[in-house]
Each structure stands twice: as C-alpha cells, then as structure tokens.
Chains A and B, each alone.
Chain A
Amino acid sequence: MNLILGILLQTVLLLGLAPLLSGCIRNWKAKLQNRRGPPVWQPYLDLVKFLRKDMVISEHASWLFRFMPYVLFLSTLLAGLIVPLVSASAPLSLFGGALALVGLLALGRFFLALGGLDPASAFGGMGSSREMTIAAMAEPALMLAVFTVAIAAGSTNLSEMLLAAHGPTWKLLNPAHVLAFAALFIVLLAETGRIPVDNPATHLELTMIHEAMILEYSGRYLALIEWSAAIKQLVLMALLVNIFFPVGVATEISGPALALSALWFLAKLLALAGAVVVVETTNAKLRLFRVPDLLSAAFILATLALLSTFLFQ
C-alpha cells in the first residue's frame, strides 16, 4: 500500500515539478542576458499546446517511431522513481539503484536515437550519432563518480547512499565528494543537453543534437519527449543535490518532516539550476570534437575523487 502511495506521489511530483524547473532555467537565463524571457510556467503551456495539436508523421517512419515516445517517457519516469527526492527512501529503491537508474536512462536514449533515424532524414541520423557518442563519453565519468560515492556508502542503492552521507559525519568539503560532484556536474550538462555541450534553444542544423533527433516529432509525441527531457533533467539534478548535499532530506514519513524536506529540496534544486544558468550564460558552446576533452576532464575528476577516498580515509 505504502509502495503504491509512494509511487503515486513521486510520479505526480516528477510530472509537476519538471516543467517548472525547465521554465525557471529558461527564465533566469533570459534575465541574466538582459532579456525579459518567457514566464516560468511557459513549459506547462507548451505541453498542453503540444498535446492538443494534430500530428504529422513521416511516411517513411515505422511502428518504432510511434512506440518510442512511450518507452522514453516511461523509462525516464521509472528512473525518477528510483531517485530519492523529498523522502530519503525512494519508492522503487528496492527495485534498483544507481546502476538501474543509468540503465533506464540509457534505455530511453537508445530508443530516442532509433526514433531519430526512423524518418529517413539526415538531421535525425546526425542527432542520433552525436547523442550516442556524447553519452558514451559521459558514461565512464558518470559511473566512476557514482562508484566513488557508492563505495563510501557501501551500497549502490541510492537511498542507502543518501542515508550514509546524511547525518553528523557529513562534511561540505569532503575532497572525494567535491571532486565527484564536479565530475557529475559536467556529466549533468552533457546528459541534459546544456551549453557548452548542446544548445537547447537552437534549431541551427549543424549544431543541434537533441533537437535534431526529435525534428520529425510533433503533437502529443513531442509533448511526451519534451516532458521526458524535463523529467530527466530533474532526476539528474535531484541526484546531485540529494547525494552530495543530503541536508534536510526527510528520513521518516510524517507530514511536517516531508513539508520541511520539500522546501529544502526546492531550495537546493533552484540553487543548482542557478549554477547551470550561470554556466550556460558565461560559456560558449563547444565544438563537437572538443566535447570529449570536457568529458575526459570529468573522468579525470572522478578518478581523482576515487584516489582521494584511497588517500584520505
């Protein structure tokens, strides 16, 4: 019963909060660039608009094209249910930990890239190729950073990892955590398609990655894809803030504790979003073949994080 209630609440939270987070980032970015920018709730309006619209489907596309948005949406949502958001125990924490999270996101990406290839357009293929390449480069850094925390915590279960970091022994400047956080932050930028890796606002043929893959999608499928992208961003950011800054996360299930924890969660999330906005505004997009350098830097940071657990224990 608790399981079903937990799943229900977290699903609602993921679905509801994800567009707001994207909206905030977009709005703040505009503010920082001296533009007025769209209101923070614009993504909700976009989603409703997409859901209402007619769809155009390519004549070359197969059943996979129609199947993909559901796989992407569900796998991202499931990944979200594995990560502890407000309560320290995620609803699906028994069903999977960090490895399942990475696996589910990879499943979504696999089908997303196939959906890009299906309509026979060159843009889709280009986007798929680049997306898979960048994901492959990001994966070792992501895993190594996760391993560093998992080894310290003694489990790959995200709730366990959070609880291990939680408590009086937690320090803001634990060298392993700082380095792993830096590595994961770079991975976050790459995985969510942010500058300097990808520009979420562009439709310029030669530079787009994520947008190129979904160029042929419209209507409610596009709504599902956009929503999934927003949820993925929320999930990864929640992972970062909760694992590295477990301050205020509710360890017991009670009304006041959860409310306080929700406030903390929002504050931490918005702070991280602010950091993303600053990075996006102060950096230029990298050439595609410079991105591997950035991701190798993330890998090296993660390796150093691992070394420092070895040295400073």
Chain B
Amino acid sequence: MSPTLLLQLALVAYAAGALGSLLAMGREKLANAIGFGLATVGGVCGVLAATLALTSTGQLRPFELWPSLIPYIKLIVKLDALGAFFLLIVSLLAVALSIYSFAYVRAYYGRKNVGVLACFYNVLILATTLVFTAANAFFFLLVWEIMALTAYCLVSFEHEKTETRNAGVLYFVMSHIGTGCLILGFLLLFQQASGDYGFDSFRALGDKMSPGSRNAVFLLFLVGFGVKAGIIPLHIWLPEAHPVAPSNISAFLSGVLIKTGIYGLTRVYFDFLGTPPNWWGVTLLTIGTVSAVLGVLYALMEHDLKRLLAYHSIENIGIILMGLGAALMFLHSGRPFLASLALIAGLYHTINHALFKALLFLGAGAVLHSTHTRNMEEMGGLIKRMPWTALLFLIGAVAISALPPLNGFVSEWLTYQSLLQGFGTTASLVRLMFPLSGAMLALTGALAAACFVKAFGISFLAQPRSEHAAQAKEVAPPMLWGMGILAIACVFLGLCPTVFLTVFDPITSQLTGHAISRQLSLDPLLVLGSGETLGGTVSTLGITLTGVCLLPIPLVLWFLFGRRSKVRIAPTWGCGQRRLTPQMEYTATGFSKPIRMIFKALFRPRREVQREYDYSPYFAKNLRFESHIEEAFVTRVYRPLNRGILRLSRRMRALQAGSIQAYLIYIFVTLLALLLFAL
C-alpha cells in the first residue's frame, strides 16, 4: 500500500471516530469503544504511512482533501519527509494514548460525557495530523486553529473547577497571540511570493527575499510558534493548561501539541527562508538554553506531579531548540554536515521527548486515577501497590534524566557533540556560546535527574503519606499496555539509535542537503559516531551488553563469601520513636529545599511562619508554615502588562459612551480620513 492511501485511511478513521462517538454519546461504553477504537486504527495506519514514507525514496503525490467550493482555496495534503517524521510521532502516540484511554475514561462514566471527550480527542489528532501535512498556508492556518480550539475544549473538559477554567482561558489567549503572529508572518511571505500561498512557492523564495522582511518573518514565526512550543518567556500558559486536562490529553498536549511549534519552526527556518544570518541561530540557541535551565529549575519547585511534568516540557523544548539553533548557525557558516548533525539531534530529542513525556504523563494519570490526587506530598509507597505503573514511570524517569542506556541519553549526546564541534566553525567570540550552552545542558541534565529522583522517590517509594495512597490499586491492563508501548519505544530508541537514524536521511537531505546516517553509524555493533574531524563514539547497546556480562561478579562474590549470611526484615530505625510514621519522611518540598536556597535570587520564595507557644519560643505548641513561589515572569512581566491593558481599556471606555451622536461623529471622521487617504 502506498503511504498516501494509508494516510487517507488514518484521516478517515479519525473522522469516523469523531462522528461515531458523538452519535453514540448516549451510550458511554459504545462511544468509548468507537472513539478510541477508531483512533487506535487511525494511529496504526499513520505509523505505517510515516514509516513507508520515510523509508521509501521518491516524492509522494499531493492530494486534495476535498474539492473546495471557493475557487482560490485548495485544501491540499502533501506528505514530505519532515511531515512524515512528525506524523510518526503523532500516530505513535495516538496508538498508545488510545489504548490507555479505553480504561482511563471509564472513571468519567456517569459523571462526564465520554462521547464528547472521544469526539474532541479524534478531532484533535485529525487536526494535528493535517497540520503536519498541510501544503499551503491557508489550509495550515485553518487546521492550526481547529487544533488550538479543540485543545482548548479538552483543557477545559473538567470545567467545573475554577482552576481549569482559568487555565483554559489563559491558554486560549496566549494561543491566539501566537496565531496572530503566524497570520502576519504568512501574509508577509504571501506578499513576497507575489500572491501565492502554497508552501512550494515559499520554498522558492529563499534568499530572494529582502533581509528586512526575512528578519521580520523570523521574529513573527518565533513568537507564533514559540507560544505553542512553550519557550520562555512565552510559556506561562503551559504549566497551567497541561496539568488540568484529563491525563491522556495532557500526554497528547505535552507529547505532540507543543511539537507543532517545533515543526513550524523547522519548516519555516530550514525549508522556506534560505541561508540564515548568524543571529537567528544565536537567538534560538540562547532561548533554548534559557528555557532548558529555567524550565527544570521551576519543575524542581513543584510538588504537583503533573505541573512538574509540564515544566519539564519547557526544559525539553529548550534542549530541542539548542539543537535547532546550532543547526541554523552551522547553515550560516556553511557546514552542512554539522547542520545535519545538530538538526538530527534536535529532531531525535523531539521524538524522544514525545515518548517519555507521554509515558510520564500517563503514569501520573494512573497515579491520579488510583489516589485521586496530584499532590506528591500525599502519595508514597505506590511501588508496592502499583508495581507495574511504578516500573514504567521509572523507565520514563531514567529516559528523561538523559541517563544511559535509554533514549534521552542518545539525543542529548548528539546535542553535546554538535555543540562541541561548533567551537571550530567560527573564529569570533560567538564560538564560546557552544561549550557554555553545553555546560548549561549538563546543569539541566543533572537538575532533571534530581527532579526525577524527587518525583519518583517521593511519589512511589517509602511509606504512603495519606489514606488515599495507602489504598491505591494497580490500574487496569489497557492503561499499562498504553504505557508499555511507549516504554518499549524508549528502550528501542535508546539501544538501537543507528537503526533509527536512517529515518533522518530524507529529512536532512531535504533541509540541509546532506544525508549523514551512514557516517554516523560506524559499525554493526551500533556504534554511533559523530565525526567529520572532531568526534566521539558511543554504543548504548555495547555498554548494556558489557554490563550484563559483568553481572556475574557481584553474584560470584556473594557465592564465595556470603552463602551462609541471612536476610532479616526489620523496621527502619526511627530515632528512638517507637514507630516510624510517614510524617518523618522527607517531603518533596524538603527535598528541593537546597536548590531553592541556592537559587534564592531567582525563585524569591515567600514564606510565612506562625508560632504559638506558652513559656518560651523553644517549646512551640502550634506551628504553621507556608511557602510560595511565584514565577518572576508572571509577577514581573505578565501581571504589569495585564494591568496596563486593563487601564488602557478603561480609558478607551470614554469613547464608547453609548450616545448615538458621538458614534455618528466617529463614522463621519473615519469616512473623511479614508477619503483623504484615498486622495
């Protein structure tokens, strides 16, 4: 079967899923089966289509979604290499999430309308798939907007809570600021391409545009797609909106939706705009570095499991942008090999982040499902009550902390390599940026590891900290299978990177003109090399296998010396207290306290302590402790901005006084002005 046909099948399946679940709204089980069943089918077709498109050679024929009635507007779908890569991400996640959702949405039976949820879910996947395959600006903006609106509906799905409604509105506003910039950007391109809005004519533009309009296009798309990707400082909606959505949706939002921003940036910067000036790459690299470090620092301060994961999305978008930024700089300095390497690093991290972040959000969803809380301080001891969820969450945690041998390590390794090799590409002081961002990437990785020790350790280990946690039960098998698919994908992408690297050949030959997967895979042992001149090698599979071979050492030692030793189970020492209670455990807040103290200048934590005592302050009867952290961007930038806008609107109110005479004068003056302008 041709990829085009499979893609069409997938689109039909999603559309049928949306319609079917809406029609079967009254019967929850049927709606669930139709909606998520067809989404699974669509996902499988999408994965096949993407794999075929990425492995076969030759251009695929574009097709029209349906003949539109308006003559100028054509809804053309075209699957190219870059689109196919993102199609792979969205379809893979669609499969895993839909399987998970079968069991997850059962919790909504009788409470919420599952049919509507399944319908929006299918529309969201459909629109996202079309975003990745739209072949002209008009169609792109159309499906982009459908995607944004459906996402808004899904974020506000549990709209009974004020928190959810506020998050939804914030997302809505920010998303439309982004869309506004996108429309302006596309209009500028449209005008430069003398009235053609097809992506092919944008591509033909390239270096022919004037530098001024190219820079304007760069900035407009940076803001437009940056809002969606959640780069700092345009990220404020992300930690609000992602946690409040149902967990399967959160996984989709963090796994795929923010990647549409990455897709857009790659498409415009690498495909349309020709050779970039140096400052574009410098800007992206800087934004990426800042987003990565600040994202992980704010994540460390969270004890809401889903908000923590949302902040990590900002961090990982930062890491992806570091790769893309470096790639732009290499394109500028005329190093197509390095540009391909850095681009691969960014895109590899894109799919990795989609996989492990979706896995972690689904894990958090499973925990939420069983304990009914997102607060880590009320969890604990879940590894004994939910062993499979714990294991799968642990795999995700190791992967996101960029530890070998899982996939996060591989893509960060590629990023490090491209940054290191960047040092030699230019003689100016700019070259120092590469190792310094590498060092910041190291800081990010180490802080992420600290954060996931906290997230896993406090939530899953030790004693349960609340009644809910003590009574938690393992979740239903479909949820575990959904997570299992993602965990297997994480392990595969970690152990067999050279097998997967061939996927990037069509993409890099399209965008930078170099297919380098053969130069990166040195030998059948799956050694990943990275070098023109400078380089390094790594083989996660080799390391793992050696590790397995060394396993007998501790076992032999045990056999030689400890055969007769016994194992006794006893309580942990409770410092002289009779029993160790959960109150004595380290809390999530306590765990991140040293980091909070070290980065005090950034966090500006506010704390209130109230002490009640009788005789002396040393013998407190009651102690109340409160500590808050508010993001500096919210308090310093957005809140004053918001106040300013409100003040301005209050001034404007004088204009709209409700008197007809005044309005007539406005119309008259406007007409006069227009006439004068026309003259």
Residues on A lying within 8 angstroms of B by beta carbon are 7, 11, 15, 48, 51-60, 62-64, 69-70, 73-75, 77-78, 81, 92-100, 102-104, 106-107, 109-110, 113-114, 117-122, 124-126, 128-130, 132-133, 135-144, 147-148, 150-151, 154-157, 160, 215-216, 219-220, 223-224, 288-289, 292, 299, 302-303, 306-307, 310
Q: Are A100 and B438 within 8 A (Cβ)?
A: no
Among candidates A57, A113, A129, A151, residue contacting B594 with C-beta atoms closer than 8 Å: A129
Q: Are A95 and B542 within 8 A (Cβ)?
A: yes
> Quick check: is B198 within 8 A (CB to CB) of the other chain?
no
Q: How far is the CA of A215 from the CA of B580 in the complex (A)?
A: 15
7 A-B pairs with least C-beta separation: A125-B586, A156-B536, A117-B457, A132-B450, A143-B442, A51-B561, A139-B446
Q: Apart from A128-B457, A306-B436, what are 6 other A-B pairs with CB-CB below 8 Å? A: A70-B551, A74-B551, A92-B543, A114-B461, A124-B586, A299-B439
Chain B residue numbers with a CB within 8 Å of A126 are: 586
Chain A residue numbers with a CB within 8 Å of B442 are: 102, 139-140, 142-144
Q: How far is the CB of B375 from chain A (nearest CB, A)?
A: 17
Among candidates A53, A58, A75, A114, residue contacting B572 with C-beta atoms closer than 8 Å: A58
Q: Are B534 and A216 within 8 A (Cβ)?
A: no
Q: Are A51 and B550 within 8 A (Cβ)?
A: no
Q: How far is the CA of A45 from the CA of B402 in the complex (A)?
A: 37
Evaluate whether A104 and B593 lie within 8 angstroms (CB atoms) in the complex, with A124-B586, A151-B420 already known: no
Q: How far is the CB of B548 from chain A (nearest CB, A)?
A: 9
> Quick check: is B9 within 8 A (CB to CB) of the other chain?
no
Chain A residue numbers with a CB within 8 Å of B267 are: none
Q: Are A106 and B449 within 8 A (Cβ)?
A: yes
Q: Are A289 and B597 within 8 A (Cβ)?
A: yes
Contact stretch, chosen from B41-49, B255-263, B562-570: B562-570
Q: How far is the CB of B660 from chain A (nearest CB, A)?
A: 66
Chain B residue numbers with a CB within 8 Å of A223 are: 557
Evaluate whether A92 and B453 lie within 8 angstroms (CB atoms) in the complex, with A110-B401, A306-B432 already known: no
> Quick check: is B171 within 8 A (CB to CB) of the other chain?
no
> Quick check: is B403 within 8 A (CB to CB) of the other chain?
yes
Among candidates B417, B527, B543, B580, residue contacting A121 with C-beta atoms closer than 8 Å: B580
Evaluate whether A147 and B462 lie within 8 angstroms (CB atoms) in the complex, with A52-B561, A81-B546 already known: no
Q: Are B553 and A77 within 8 A (Cβ)?
A: yes
Q: Are B384 and A62 within 8 A (Cβ)?
A: yes
> Quick check: is B592 within 8 A (CB to CB) of the other chain?
yes
Interface string of B417-454 (1 = CB under 8 A from A): 10010011000010110011011111101110110111
Chain A residue numbers with a CB within 8 Å of B381 are: 60
Q: Are A136 and B443 within 8 A (Cβ)?
A: yes
Q: Are A307 and B432 within 8 A (Cβ)?
A: yes
Among candidates A64, A104, A220, residue contacting B558 with C-beta atoms closer than 8 Å: A220
Chain B residue numbers with a CB within 8 Å of A103 are: 402-404, 409, 413
Interface string of B391-414 (1 = CB under 8 A from A): 000100010011110000100010
Evaluate whether A99 and B557 lie within 8 angstroms (CB atoms) in the complex, with A59-B569, A143-B439 already known: no
Interface string of B619-647 (1 = CB under 8 A from A): 00000000000000000000000000000
Chain A residue numbers with a CB within 8 Å of B458 are: 117
Q: How far is the CA of A41 from the CA of B31 in the complex (A)?
A: 71
15 contacts between A and B (CB under 8 A): A7-B549, A94-B537, A95-B538, A96-B543, A110-B453, A113-B453, A120-B461, A125-B586, A128-B453, A129-B594, A136-B447, A139-B443, A147-B439, A154-B535, A306-B436
The secondary structure that dominates the B interface is: helix
Q: How far is the CA of A118 from the CA of B394 in the complex (A)?
A: 14
Evaluate whether A78 and B543 lie within 8 angstroms (CB atoms) in the complex, with A106-B403, A143-B438 already known: yes
Q: Are B553 and A11 within 8 A (Cβ)?
A: yes
Q: Are A96 and B571 within 8 A (Cβ)?
A: no
Find the A residue at minimum CB distance from B539.
Answer: A95
Q: Are B547 and A137 within 8 A (Cβ)?
A: no
Q: Are B586 and A78 within 8 A (Cβ)?
A: no
Among candidates A57, A78, A124, A151, residue contacting B567 with C-beta atoms closer than 8 Å: A57
Evaluate whether A11 and B550 lie within 8 angstroms (CB atoms) in the complex, with A114-B453, A156-B420 already known: yes
Among candidates B424, B546, B575, B582, residue contacting A120 with C-beta atoms closer than 8 Å: B582
> Quick check: is B196 within 8 A (CB to CB) of the other chain?
no
Q: How far is the CB of A84 from chain B (nearest CB, A)?
A: 14
> Quick check: is B573 within 8 A (CB to CB) of the other chain?
yes
Q: How far is the CB of A70 from chain B (nearest CB, A)?
A: 6
Evaluate whether A125 and B546 lie within 8 angstroms (CB atoms) in the complex, with A64-B461, A132-B449, A156-B417 already known: no
Q: Are B461 and A133 within 8 A (Cβ)?
A: no
Q: Are A147 and B443 within 8 A (Cβ)?
A: no
Q: Are B439 and A109 within 8 A (Cβ)?
A: no
Chain B residue numbers with a CB within 8 Å of A78 are: 543, 546-547, 550
Q: How far is the CB of A164 from chain B (nearest CB, A)?
A: 11
Among candidates B416, B417, B449, B592, residue contacting A129 with C-beta atoms closer than 8 Å: B592
Chain A residue numbers with a CB within 8 Å of B445 are: 106, 139
Q: Are A154 and B534 within 8 A (Cβ)?
A: yes
Chain A residue numbers with a CB within 8 Å of B570 are: 56-59
Interface string of B585-602 (1 = CB under 8 A from A): 110001111110110000
Q: Are B533 and A154 within 8 A (Cβ)?
A: yes
Interface string of B236-258 (1 = CB under 8 A from A): 00000000000000000000000
